[in-house]
Structure 1
Amino acid sequence: MAIGLKKAGVHDFVILEKADEVGGTWRENTYPGCACDIMSLLYSYSFEPKSDWSRMFPKQRELLQYIKDIVDKYDLLQHIRFNTEAVGAEYDDDTATWNVLVDDGDETVRGRALVSAMGPLHQPNVPDLPGLASFAGKVFHSAEWDHDYDLTGKRVAVIGTGASAIQFVPRIARRTGHLTVFQRTPPWILPKPDRPLTGVERTLFRRVPGVQRIYRNGIYLLQESFVLGFENPRLLKIASTLAKAHLARQVPDPGLRRELTPDYTMGCKRTLVSSDYYPALTRPDVELTTSGIREVRAGSIVTEDGREHEVDAIVLGTGFHVTDAFEHAHIVGRGGLRIQDAWRDGVEAHLGVTVAGFPNLFLLLGPNSGLGHNSMIFIIEAQVRHALQCLRLLDATGSASIAVRRGTQDRFNAWVQRRSAGAVWVAGGCTSWYLDRDGVNRAAWPASTANYWLRTRRLDPASYELGAPTGGAPTGGHRADRDRAGSDRAGGDRAEPGGPARRPAAAG
């Protein structure tokens, strides 16, 4: 988003970052084996190809370095306020600006527009297990890995078998004295075709124009083919057959294989890729437990079958809050509308970006823009383009605010739910983070990414309400006197703590 603003000639913005460095997901997640499950040539910005990726599937450190390099290249550090957490945001109807409360609430950053780019897989989900607080050993979530705690020789419990767990379980199984994996629902797992990129490939990427783009497009089309099965689950039989063959090849024990075989349609939950998870579960010092957890005691976990599993440490691979991520957020829109009231019937937005009743607010990876089959970078770039088009429309019309019309949002979300009704996320026979507590798809995009690209490619002005200028202040341009007047094109009032006028504050 910051790069998009700079390319559009907008420099009056600030990024509020709660941590002390950039990186998001790839800064937060440092568990052993952490890597992306989308190939590096696709999981990267279309405008910033990297010719020297080390592997087909990038690991955490390489991705983090990629992000840092881009921050340096586009000179973004000057726009970032580190160790600054946004704890709330309120829209001011009189000035058509957003006031963002920072940290302990004693500072306010004011901006003409506000972008929420906090990511949907952001808040670790700690399960409410009876007795967990009384456990005398070590407990930590995979996204908050305690590298100071040595797992060597320890009796370790892993709760959860999702995308993170299948990466770290094979790594820690080599060190633990005994590892018990508590599985509620087995995932569908396909083999991971990972390998180092050859020197010849990297040379071609660097020296022959178009070769890397051909690789990228080929990977994109391969990933995109899965959406046909998500919309018509019967078409997923080929992929599920491949997954079952992968399981049979790596797990010879029929009893263990039976426990690892999903009983729901592939794609209902996130389909995972791994070539070393199943072998880890066949180790003599690793045990898979499928009975539910009854309680946690000071030194053990008791399952519903009455067994007591003595453990020294518990690692939670239990995912993140997604559909309920905004339940406690302090975001107040036009006329004092709280985000919880706007979403009392479920989270929704137009194209996952704009929300009725919240002018000049843009979400990146908002409701129903998540993917289970392709690169989220593709979606982010489309959403950034859409948000920039909204800001350009503000300039072109001299308006103070822009907000999606309620009717537009309602029609869009009715289409989303119609498309979702027969799709694998809803009809596949499982529960997942794609669905809210009522079983409604609030996270997944229910069509192809090409469909999303077409929908966000060109802004329809009729879908938005434009607010008249407030107080006669100018609404366009970049001249310093206009900055002091409290308006910068797509930028925002320069704000100082608690008062008007000096710190750039557009994108948060």
Structure 2
Amino acid sequence: MSETSAQVRVIVVGAGFGGIAAAIELTEHGYDDVTVLESAAELGGTWYHNVYPGAACDVPSHFYSFSFDQRASWSRFCSPQEEILDYLREVARAHGVDRRVVTGQRVTSCAWDEGTGTWTVVAEAPDGTTTTRTADALLIATGQLDKPSYPRIEGLEDFTGPVLHSARWDTDLDLTGRRVAVIGTGATAAQLVPELAEAAAHTTVFQRSGNWFLPRRSKEYSAPVKALLAHVPGLNRVFRALLAAYLEFLTAAIRHPRTLGRVLAAWSTLFMRGQLRDPEVRRTAWPDYTFGCRRVLFSSSYLPALQRPDVTLVGDAVTAMTERGPRTADGRVHEVDVVALATGFRTTDFMFPMEVTGSGGRRLREDWADGPRAHLGMTVPGYPNLFLLYGPNTNTSGGSIVFFLEHQARYVRQALDLGRERKAALDVRPEVASSSDVTLQGRFVGTAWVACDSWYRDESGRIVANWPGYMREYADATREVEPADFRYLPVPG
């Protein structure tokens, strides 16, 4: 690689799967000046912060991992948080990018300087001191699942006991023998509730709406299975391909709710009816929306946990919090000792409240006033050499975000190669971004995604989180950078 390429300065914001994937891709293609800024005390992103009981991934581990760094020693089909975090640490260390991560750096602002053709990045340390860095290219890999969403419950601060959010769990808090309220019944609660029920004296689950479930057993692989995966050449690759096909089928069911969607809905119905023996719990827990409109949950332990004698499922909305516990719409106060918020993330905020300023002083917050959008989820007109990883419309309801992030990292590296060759900063053409957005939004028509409200949408109802197609389609769309998609802004030197 030429000396010129080694002088390209790149700052990556975020050291989760996306930031680590980008750092590896860049450094292994000759980009030597790469710095990864991470607000937490360690790398890991989502898998560093989410340490609640039962935390795991519901995407099979052999696919929720990098294709270039496969592990034959996964302990089970869907691995727990600790194992995923260890994997990411090991990958970062093996590829030498762990030393490029600067922790305790919360990026507060990023501004494009047209005079120098560079980005100025300001970060704040835990003690309040700030550091300013300059880069030729900026990659924001904060993703969609980094900022906890706290429910708007009147009087939440009045509760006298501990209030925990699942994404900021206090591992020192002993819940043995205590009465626990769980507010929220999404993917996190599906993992959290069965674990809490084992420890707490009583667990009360407050549900806003039911969910569609498919089975997921998390038993550890047997010794023979581990031996096969570890020692049979090519078996991991075959297993990964089969998993990809299975996950693409789930996407197909969401894209075609009247045909394939009904097949999976029937499977889900049979599974849920088999698990929900209590008619009252079944009535409360049953979803009232189209299969696939919201995230389909995978668990074989959550629905049985709801029917334990020491677990109560409440379908009435929480209207306020009192000193003693939640008050529901029926006027009842549910007395508890601890409140656990399993209310997810502010998925449509992306990198905000970080201030991002582009050409001519334009602000990303204002440009996205009508909803976040980016060409292929990565580039925004007016923000040269800025690339987003896990940006708008790159979430997946039936696949692995790690797959998307790998392809995004490669695309970004190709874009920087192109800019280096032309000695210019790349700025995606407005007409390209606009056209791709129209096409993308049009693909949601007729799918299950538009059949109800969900966290995939912003306040206007526009779907801003999800990719509307298959993983293979995103891979094809990002396989090679199209030079005609960009304007080229000469940079000094």
TM bucket (normalised to shorter chain) is over 0.9
Partner-residue secondary structure (3-state), 1:420: coil
- Mapped to 1, the partners of 2:36 and 2:414 lie a distance apart of 20
Cα shift at 1:326:
4.4
Of 272-281 and 70-79, deviating more is 70-79
Cα shift at 1:469:
2.8
Cα shift at 1:204:
3.6
The letter for the 2-side match of 1:96 is G
- Is the 1:364–1:380 contact (alpha carbons within 8 Å) kept by the matching residues of 2? yes
Of 377-386 and 236-245, deviating more is 236-245
Counterpart of 1:10?
31
Of 402-411 and 221-230, deviating more is 221-230
4+ runs deviating over 6 angstroms? none
Cα shift at 1:354:
0.6
Q: Which of residues 437, 448, 452 in structure 1 aligns to 2:459?
A: 437
- Is the 2:143–2:351 contact (alpha carbons within 8 Å) kept by the matching residues of 1? no
- Mapped to 2, the partners of 1:284 and 1:160 lie a distance apart of 20
Give the superposed CA RMSD. 1.3
- Mapped to 2, the partners of 1:342 and 1:362 lie a distance apart of 16
Partner-residue secondary structure (3-state), 2:244: helix
Counterpart of 2:104?
83
Cα shift at 1:137:
1.0
- Mapped to 2, the partners of 1:312 and 1:198 lie a distance apart of 39
- Mapped to 1, the partners of 2:203 and 2:98 lie a distance apart of 43
Asked whether 1:130 is paired with 2:158, we answer: no
- Mapped to 2, the partners of 1:398 and 1:331 lie a distance apart of 24
The letter for the 2-side match of 1:45 is F
Q: Which of residues 448, 462, 465 in structure 1 aligns to 2:487?
A: 465
- Mapped to 2, the partners of 1:119 and 1:387 lie a distance apart of 15
Of 348-357 and 198-207, deviating more is 198-207
Asked whether 1:255 is paired with 2:289, we answer: no
Of 91-100 and 77-86, deviating more is 77-86
Deviations 1:395-446 (A, max 9, x none): 11122x10111000000100111111222111x2x22110111111101000
Partner-residue secondary structure (3-state), 2:327: strand
Asked whether 1:312 is paired with 2:337, we answer: yes
- Is the 1:356–1:404 contact (alpha carbons within 8 Å) kept by the matching residues of 2? yes
Cα shift at 1:299:
0.9
- Mapped to 1, the partners of 2:146 and 2:157 lie a distance apart of 22
Counterpart of 1:280?
305
Counterpart of 1:31?
52
- Mapped to 2, the partners of 1:291 and 1:446 lie a distance apart of 33
- Is the 1:324–1:436 contact (alpha carbons within 8 Å) kept by the matching residues of 2? no
Cα shift at 1:195:
3.5
- Mapped to 2, the partners of 1:384 and 1:131 lie a distance apart of 44
- Mapped to 2, the partners of 1:92 and 1:5 lie a distance apart of 23
- Mapped to 2, the partners of 1:13 and 1:79 lie a distance apart of 7
Q: Which of residues 356, 362, 366 in structure 2 aligns to 1:337?
A: 362
Cα shift at 1:207:
3.4
- Mapped to 1, the partners of 2:491 and 2:39 lie a distance apart of 33
The letter for the 1-side match of 2:254 is F
Partner-residue secondary structure (3-state), 1:295: strand
- Is the 2:203–2:312 contact (alpha carbons within 8 Å) kept by the matching residues of 1? yes
- Is the 1:244–1:261 contact (alpha carbons within 8 Å) kept by the matching residues of 2? no
Partner-residue secondary structure (3-state), 1:379: helix
- Is the 1:158–1:316 contact (alpha carbons within 8 Å) kept by the matching residues of 2? yes
Quickly say closer, same or farther: Cα 1:326–1:206, change in 2 above 3 A: closer
Partner-residue secondary structure (3-state), 1:13: strand
Counterpart of 1:405?
429
Number of matched residues? 468
Partner-residue secondary structure (3-state), 2:187: coil
Percent of residue pairs identical: 39
- Is the 1:98–1:111 contact (alpha carbons within 8 Å) kept by the matching residues of 2? yes
Q: Which of residues 171, 179, 183 in structure 2 aligns to 1:159?
A: 183
- Is the 1:129–1:296 contact (alpha carbons within 8 Å) kept by the matching residues of 2? yes
Asked whether 1:196 is paired with 2:227, we answer: no
- Is the 2:107–2:354 contact (alpha carbons within 8 Å) kept by the matching residues of 1? no
The letter for the 1-side match of 2:147 is Q
Quickly say closer, same or farther: Cα 1:216–1:19, change in 2 above 3 A: same
- Mapped to 1, the partners of 2:140 and 2:72 lie a distance apart of 31
Partner-residue secondary structure (3-state), 1:308: coil
Q: How does 1:171-250 map onto structure 2 within 5 Å?
A: 171-234=195-258, 235-250=260-275
TM-score (norm: length of structure 2): 0.93
Structure 2 unaligned regions, length at least 5 = 1-21
Higher relative contact order (CA 8 A, sep 6+): 1
Cα shift at 1:105:
6.5
Of 319-328 and 82-91, deviating more is 319-328
